Structure 1
């Protein structure tokens, strides 16, 4: 960057989230590409990334007309659209919303506060508008705008702007309460230093110099706070390749912070400055006037050929970090790309090649193994800088919902899970499978329903249960003509036929089904065990089926849709005939109420496991 352009200052979008254990830039290969579609023969520099746009400063073409002594050329703002990977996908276009008769420096935006920070020249002395910028030492200041529905509205000037010195190059923390900037104010360590201010209830604190780990007797400029906790800046006072070079250091700066420089030919004998990183942490942009560019200062695309990020292992039950979890990452060729254990924060730092797909396997005692796909190709899903992997504890309710005829999976079956305090609703997948984390020492009631099926209830508890799985095969009866559904919990007192409250709950489920499916016509069958006389049992079963019929009618069901019949002990389901010694549980198998679907909207005929409608 040549001297006549150094006075234009930049500030940059940031996403500061605290210190990282290892910087994005450490031990990472990066490639550089010249951008032909946005650079010009003049000065293009100062990239900033705001949402899905790259915004930068460019000297207008009139600036190249050396013979025009009255030219009024200025640095103005231009933008190009970016895709998810941070690649430019449109040509440059001029921004008109903040174009003024001043030099417009690059800008940054704090999404948390809705504020935009802009560096402008001539902010103090408008009478100097007609003076060519490069011919006079014009002061710079920071102007703050607020985002509105349609445009940007001026809010205020930064309180430490001055007509005696420049204040510029701001970069704002993600929270919006820490501003780092460049100034040549008196009392600094060199020609220009980096300072920071903290926003308090009473306003911005006084500027604090970042100290000798950053500042030198030369120039420090173009700060950028990256989301990995590193502060990137340019300096000609630290040992480097020559002129302005790019460096980075942890922020906040402590006695343990170490300044580092960039490799991968990012620094050159020319000026290299203004580096910004896309929020995806896989690409970025910087400025340089090195040889081989399109013009004077050019903007270069930076791609991380490696991607460094943290694997975070957490409990899917407590949402807390799992310490000491084993993490293995396998590439597409079956080779181990990374392996290790999560630290005291549940993190493991990994570095993977971009443009590849991986499989991650995380495991720890008392938790189920978790297997996830990592796709670092351009077509893959975005992988966060802190990639969270949730492991299911071994208190897990899982299983499959199937048609009782042939055990055919029932997709999208709904399970309503009630632990007495909270109710959760989950859905089975296309294979009828489901999984849900449960808690120890609780009683659970689960209602399972599906379209065109008769629902059921499951009761279980985890009282005294050790970590593990509760696995169910849930079988539902279809509501098709010919289906016979054995109702559970239809009990009667000895030798009686009145409907007890517990039987009423089961019959209420049948009422709901008949209301939901008005085409159904059914027959109620009542059966007894073999104890008692044949005629007595026959009459008892008829009275019981009639009681069930009357209950349905009392709930509003059309009696023409329901038949009822008693079979006594004529259709036993086991050996417990007259004179055979059986347990009470075996006799109970014969005391049952069966619903047969006589007519439905769809009649299904089966052939093996294939159903024809």
Structure 2
């Protein structure tokens, strides 16, 4: 593409009645660039297929220039596009879709993989190389599908006719609504725009788009943009010259209005065939205006601004959040846009394309949300809008990992209970999770994962300031050799009876032993340093035996368990009697540890995923 900018334009909205839907083209700054792909002949009908710009161009029969116009016919050519939608490199003839007929314009549906191509002479092959303006030659639309590296015919539209033309298709993103041009009987003028819907029974009868679009003149070259705009050309609706470009929302409603592109997008000559790149950063159109290289040339439209709505929503309820304040800051720290969302949770924003920003959204009952915006990448936009989800006052988030090396555990299950309801969360491939909490609630979270000994977490939001409960949850594997410090298996001083919280942990252990029948364990109990060595050794044996008896009472075979006491020989801190210690420090030493003596991972299924 040439670096030369031939003009700068501003899209102005010419109103006829209120348009309910905002269009990409409303008040957007744009520049127009010439392209190196143009020739002295006619080049027009741009379309975008994946990463290529496809267009029509006169082709010399047998590679030789002909003195007779009807010996020259249209073929399809293409050139590569970069990430910004700019044409790069030389033009190449598309040998994958070439025939002896006139070809194009066309449209491509990424969703279905289909190519909708205008072809002449599709019914009578004996009539060769005659252009569209010849009244005795009709145009029809043929649907192609990819077969290897080439395109092959799939079907022809059922209302193609030898009595009139059907041409210039544009297809909806879903592939079920086709708009086209035809001079079939019953229209408003020379050529009208029609639409048809594809159902299970095939393509429905065409419906005229009506007086908001069609005039007594020619309406041609429609294009359906992803923002809901239908762009087309007409010479019967008034304007700057012959064929001019217009747009209107589609589907067309009673409140819909037609708008035109003011400024120099429309010239005194023909301006037609506009398409917009999927990134909504620019597009292409054709014109035979002065200053070009040939009769018709293809021009690049570079969108300098991007207009969209920020929609603030609750990440918990998905409801809109009116009154959310939004600040958008550029890379220099300047405020590029600021305001609050309206009653519909929306704030209209206009930003420069190909620029990076930081968005900050705040709402009184929600936590601050910060997003990085790269306007060269529109993948985060939904229907041309940016949805911003704010988290409630409290969020439970974190990561579940293997305690040996903090390796992430995907698909770990977290059961979250607030006493009235129970929710489940699965960790992602990085072991991370997020869950929105409510204020003034007590929570208990049970964490489990395949081939791991689970755990539980308790916390509450009673009287707390808003914030994040961020946890690194470490689990012990059930492999042989693992040593698991059982949580809450503590004892009162000098006692060996189980506390209530200890029973919950032993219930978890019994469940693991039931689920993994090949596991064998040894229970090790410990005391603090107070009391004689003999007393502590006897006490620890009693504690270990008490824990084993409880597990056996849950139906676990005694042959799978061993139990032993170590007294005060393996303290976990320095409280050996030589220094003063708190009761809490002594409490840490009164514990039970499980060692996995034998383990064999058994074949289990989770959904369609099998573990071995």
TM-score, structure 2 normalization: 0.75
Q: Does 1:567 align with 2:561?
A: no
Q: Which moved more, 1:219-228 or 1:169-178?
A: 169-178
CA distance in 2, matches of 1:498, 1:329: 58
Cα distance change on mapping 1:163 and 1:511 into 2, 3 Å: closer
CA drift at 1:307: 0.8
CA distance in 1, matches of 2:132, 2:471: 78
The within-5 A match list for 1:450-599 is 457-460=456-459, 468-469=466-467, 471=469, 487-491=486-490, 495-496=495-496, 502=504, 504=506, 526-527=526-527, 536-544=535-543, 565-567=566-568, 589=587, 592-593=590-591
* Cα deviation code 1:208-233 (max 9, x no counterpart): 32222222222111111111111111
CA distance in 1, matches of 2:337, 2:211: 38
The within-5 A match list for 1:348-359 is 348-359=347-358
The within-5 A match list for 1:168-567 is 168-377=167-376, 385-398=384-397, 412=408, 416-419=413-416, 422-426=423-427, 435-438=434-437, 443-447=443-447, 457-460=456-459, 468-469=466-467, 471=469, 487-491=486-490, 495-496=495-496, 502=504, 504=506, 526-527=526-527, 536-544=535-543, 565-567=566-568
CA drift at 1:268: 1.2
The Cα RMSD (Å) is 4.9
* Cα deviation code 1:395-421 (max 9, x no counterpart): 4114699999xxxx9685777421365
* Cα deviation code 1:152-200 (max 9, x no counterpart): 3323322222222212112122233322211222332222222223334
**SS of 1:101 mapped into structure 2:** coil
CA distance in 2, matches of 1:27, 1:412: 49
* Cα deviation code 1:314-344 (max 9, x no counterpart): 2222334333322221222333222233345
* Cα deviation code 1:351-382 (max 9, x no counterpart): 1012322111112232211100112247x976
* Cα deviation code 1:419-444 (max 9, x no counterpart): 36554243798xx9975334687853
CA distance in 2, matches of 1:529, 1:137: 107
- Who is 1:4 aligned against? none
CA distance in 2, matches of 1:119, 1:433: 51
The within-5 A match list for 1:152-171 is 152-171=151-170
Cα distance change on mapping 1:41 and 1:201 into 2, 3 Å: same
**SS of 2:198 mapped into structure 1:** strand
Cα distance change on mapping 1:545 and 1:510 into 2, 3 Å: farther
Q: Does 1:28 align with 2:25?
A: no
**SS of 2:566 mapped into structure 1:** strand
CA drift at 1:57: 1.1
CA drift at 1:235: 1.1
CA distance in 1, matches of 2:198, 2:75: 29
**SS of 2:27 mapped into structure 1:** coil
Cα distance change on mapping 1:595 and 1:264 into 2, 3 Å: farther
CA distance in 2, matches of 1:74, 1:85: 32
User: Residues 545 and 566 of structure 1 are in contact (CA less than 8 Å); yes or no, is this contact kept in structure 2?
Assistant: no
The within-5 A match list for 1:590-609 is 592-593=590-591
CA drift at 1:311: 1.8
User: Residues 70 and 130 of structure 2 are in contact (CA less than 8 Å); yes or no, is this contact kept in structure 1?
Assistant: no
User: Residues 42 and 64 of structure 1 are in contact (CA less than 8 Å); yes or no, is this contact kept in structure 2?
Assistant: no
**SS of 1:541 mapped into structure 2:** helix
CA distance in 2, matches of 1:510, 1:566: 27
CA distance in 2, matches of 1:397, 1:194: 55
Cα distance change on mapping 1:386 and 1:596 into 2, 3 Å: same
CA drift at 1:575: 13
Q: Which moved more, 1:275-284 or 1:566-575?
A: 566-575
Cα distance change on mapping 1:309 and 1:68 into 2, 3 Å: same
CA distance in 2, matches of 1:168, 1:80: 23
Q: How many residues align?
A: 553
> Runs of 5+ in structure 1 lacking a partner?
1-18, 513-521, 598-613
CA distance in 2, matches of 1:277, 1:398: 41
CA drift at 1:79: 1.7
User: Residues 132 and 138 of structure 2 are in contact (CA less than 8 Å); yes or no, is this contact kept in structure 1?
Assistant: no
> Runs of 5+ in structure 2 lacking a partner?
1-18, 478-482, 515-521, 596-612
Cα distance change on mapping 1:410 and 1:436 into 2, 3 Å: farther
CA distance in 2, matches of 1:57, 1:355: 29
CA drift at 1:292: 1.9
* Cα deviation code 1:95-114 (max 9, x no counterpart): 22321111011211233444
CA distance in 1, matches of 2:48, 2:191: 25
- Who is 1:601 aligned against? none
TM-score, structure 1 normalization: 0.74
CA drift at 1:262: 1.0
CA distance in 2, matches of 1:26, 1:252: 18
Cα distance change on mapping 1:439 and 1:105 into 2, 3 Å: same
**SS of 1:97 mapped into structure 2:** helix
CA drift at 1:277: 0.5
The within-5 A match list for 1:125-140 is 125-129=124-128, 137-140=136-139
